[in-house]
Amino acid sequence: MTGDVPAGTRLNYLHSRNLLAPPPSKEQNPMRRSHSHVAHAVLAPVLLSAAACGGDGGSAARGLDSPDVTISPATDTLYAVGVLDGADWEMFGRVADVAFDADGTLLILDSDAGHVVVIDPAGAFVRTISNKGEGPGELRFPASLIVFRDGRIGVRDMGNRGIALFDREGEFLEDVGIDPEGAVPSGRLRAMPDHSLIAPARQISFSPEGTMDREEGRPITRFRLDGSTDLFHAAWAPPPRETRTDEAETGNIRIQMEAGEAFPLPLALGVLSDGRVAIADSVGYRVKLLDAAGGLVSTLERPVPPVAVTPAIAEAERERRLASLESGGGGGGGGIMTLSITAAAGARGGGNPMDSEGMREALRRMREDQIRDLAFPEEMPVITNLAVDWSDRIWVQRSALPGETGTIDILSADGRYFGSLPTDGLRIPRAFGPGGLLAYVERDDLDIQRVLVVRLMADERLEGAP
């Protein structure tokens, strides 16, 4: 990952993903294996069923103050890709991201192989884009995908500190740099209709001694393809709290990790087709709708109160995180982490510097200490995640007690409530596509990573709901 680095050079990387956690295990199947061909109640105006917390079972579109109404959308499994033994393209190393383009073509980013696998709407292999390397159009440490409205494909490359742009046929166009001394994305980059990108971001600096210092607040930043940036929206932020920064060194690598907080405030966002942006950034059930310039347009709220964090809840969360760490997971993640690499003269590097056993063990020890000293808020935020599908429906993931799964509500931007998905049913996918397409990354019974594509059978009928 370091490439040819002059002696004494230090490279600082901001990591937003959980570097300790392995890819999703088969026990963490996001579909909850509920995508069988059993005739579930369909997510549509006439066939919607009411259950759980009540509801009259009438119109599919209710007000936001409606009691919870459970819906179980029927899905049709279209195809799955990813095998133990097959062609090189389908033996995935690590699926870092997936995305759909406007005609339903699936893009799969394999970060280990350093390429993007292209699958047509029928599930057939088309091509791969790019390869692992350090030359123009090659990928060193690819992390996520971006699909633009004009068909261009972007790959955020942590190794090259920027975004590699390709046309729809896979031809390399250009590299767009992200200034490491400026705002650095700390979440997934999402494309706007004007081809700019937005993401939560941090601006981090270092003292002469190498200690980490960052600006307060929770900005969402707009990144343009000419390399310029500006503030898109300042998300709500609580008063600053005292934090501890832990350090560890192994070989020529030094890491600093800011101690995290259990049940952190969400900062989740999704882009609607007209350029509006839905974000969740507060303790209560509140989804803000912003215009394409980042100004507040409206707010969607439901009467779901936050849960007070009791000593029993805090202890259960510590135990859950320690158990995750013990089993090889990430222990729930931490706060902001930076990585510094000091290269010796003539040193060359490749791949992910976090892959060394020494680094992983140092991270694991650091995470264990932080879990034992974990800070807890007074209340758990109601919302933990948010996503927008291609029909502009807003999927809102609600929080749950440690070890449990939260309910997902489906809303419209104009204040309609379609219902809530059961906790053992459909989950927010890794990627939404046109016409009700959903892509999930999972592991099969042989522990082989694969991408599963399904379709909501009643997608168009729901879009026409009154």
Confidence of residue 29 (pLDDT cuts 50, 70, 90): very low
Q: With the CA atoms of 296, 267, 405 and 25 taken in that order, what torsion angle do they form, in degrees rounded to the nearest 10?
A: 140
β-strand partners of 144: 156
Confidence of residue 362 (pLDDT cuts 50, 70, 90): confident
pLDDT at residue number 331: 65
pLDDT at residue number 40: 34
Any idea which residue has 């599908």 for tokens?
A: 389
> Do the Cβ atoms of 136 and 166 come closer than 8 Å?
no
DSSP 7: T
As a whole number of angstroms, the distance between CA 79 and CA 455 comes to 10
- The total number of structural domains that make up the chain: 1
pLDDT at residue number 147: 98
For residue 196, count other CB atoms closer than 10 A to its CB: 21
Q: Rounded to 5 degrees, what angle do the CA atoms 94, 98, 103 make? A: 150
> Do the Cβ atoms of 423 and 406 come closer than 8 Å?
yes
As a whole number of angstroms, the distance between CA 174 and CA 157 comes to 13
First to last CA, the chain: 53
Q: Among 128, 96, 123, which residue's Cα sits nearest to residue 112?
A: 96
- Report CA torsion sign: 133, 16, 190, 93: positive
As a whole number of angstroms, the distance between CA 398 and CA 276 comes to 22
As a whole number of angstroms, the distance between CA 7 and CA 13 comes to 18
Expressed as residue numbers, the domain containing 165 is 60-329+337-342+357-456
Confidence of residue 372 (pLDDT cuts 50, 70, 90): confident
Q: Within a domain: residue 28?
A: no
**Averaged pLDDT for residues 129-145:** 95
Q: Tens digit of pLDDT for each residue in 60-78?
A: 557 899 999 999 889 999 9
Q: Within a domain: residue 428?
A: yes
Q: Within a domain: residue 9?
A: no
* pLDDT value at 38 more than 50: no
Instruction: Classify residue 80 as exposed, middle or buried by CB count within 10 Å of its CB (0-12, 13-18, 19+).
Output: middle
Q: Among 406, 411, 405, 407, which residue's Cα sits nearest to residue 388?
A: 411
More confidently predicted of 7 and 133: 133
- Report CA torsion sign: 409, 410, 411, 417: negative
As a whole number of angstroms, the distance between CA 325 and CA 22 comes to 11
Residue 402 has phi, psi (to 5 degrees) of -50, 130
pLDDT at residue number 252: 60
* pLDDT value at 425 more than 80: yes
pLDDT at residue number 256: 67
**Averaged pLDDT for residues 417-421:** 95
H helix intervals, 100-238: none
Q: Within a domain: residue 24?
A: no
As a whole number of angstroms, the distance between CA 199 and CA 202 comes to 10
pTM: 0.80
Q: Within a domain: residue 50?
A: no
CATH of the domain at 252: 2.120.10.30
Confidence of residue 243 (pLDDT cuts 50, 70, 90): low
As a whole number of angstroms, the distance between CA 40 and CA 460 comes to 17
* pLDDT value at 93 more than 90: yes
pLDDT at residue number 220: 96
Confidence of residue 21 (pLDDT cuts 50, 70, 90): very low
Most confident of 34-43, 216-225, 275-284, 353-362: 275-284
Q: Tens digit of pLDDT for each residue in 161-217?
A: 899 999 999 999 999 998 877 788 988 999 999 999 999 998 665 555 555 555 667
* pLDDT value at 300 more than 80: yes
Q: Within a domain: residue 207?
A: yes
Q: Among 424, 441, 459, 417, which residue's Cα sits nearest to residue 73?
A: 459
pLDDT at residue number 213: 56
